[in-house]
Amino acid sequence: VNQDQLKQAVALAALDHIKPHLEQDSIIGIGTGSTANFFIDALAAIKNQFDGAVASSEASADRLKSHSIPVYDLNTVSSLEFYIDGADESNRQLQLIKGGGAALTREKIVAAVAKSFVCIADESKLVDVLGTFPLPVEVIPMARSYAAREIVKLGGDPQYREGVVTDNGNVILDVWNLSITNPRELEAKLNNITGVVTNGIFALRPADILLLGTQEGVKTITA
């Protein structure tokens, strides 16, 4: 079974997970990336069973609209039952690294609103210790060099993601050589660097359930 088939399998598993809870007025929080795209495409098949979605990126919003699924501004939504999104890495406590697709700020915002964050990922994403994948950090453009110097003090090796501007008009530093043994602590420290908008550690608000695509089928992992 190849990686795309694993992503497709977890996307369908996520659909099965939320379907019994959907009502005509349900609005679903949707993530960003190739696994989330499989979920969006699968969601289209049951678009008459819910109202619409809130998207964590312009790219996901466009994909939803291509299926004629209504996309709502998060400010018009008072609560979300589910947020479905992928990850670049997850540890066994369902603490994540996200941001490979440069959508981490809006992903973290929609995840914050959702009652249940359902993470969908293929088995390559499950790690013992976060940090092999370089940690994305979204920064205000004028603060890029200052934030990079502060990140070096924390032991990281920040690399500017050239040519990428986020949906919010900011830039990304990808931080290498971190061994994130205390994700909540490092997430809070990075949040406190002036000029940092968001960092890709999702530990203060981890996923609530991980649907992991493996060669032996889809595993359901909770912390």
Q: How far is the CB of 78 from ligand DER (least distance, A)?
A: 25
- 29 lines the binding site for ligand DER (CB under 6 A): no
- 33 lines the binding site for ligand DER (CB under 6 A): yes
Q: How far is the CB of 17 from ligand DER (least distance, A)?
A: 17
Q: Candidates 96-104, 165-173, 181-189, 207-215 — which segment interacts with ligand DER by CB under 6 A?
A: 96-104
* CB-CB contact of 206 with 94 (8 Å): yes
Strands 135-139 and 217-221: unpaired
Q: Candidates 59-67, 84-92, 142-150, 164-172 — which segment interacts with ligand DER by CB under 6 A?
A: 84-92
* CB-CB contact of 199 with 156 (8 Å): no
- Closer by beta carbon to ligand DER, 50 or else 83: 83
Residue 220, phi then psi, degrees to nearest 5: -100, 120
Q: How many residues are listed for the chain in this entry?
A: 223
Reduced to 3 states, what is the DSSP secondary structure of residue 95? coil
Residue 77 DSSP label: -
Two structure tokens written together for 7: 């992503």
Binding residues for substrate: 32-35, 85-88, 98-101, 125
Q: State the residues that interact with ligand DER by CB under 6 A.
A: 31-35, 85-88, 98-101, 103-104, 107
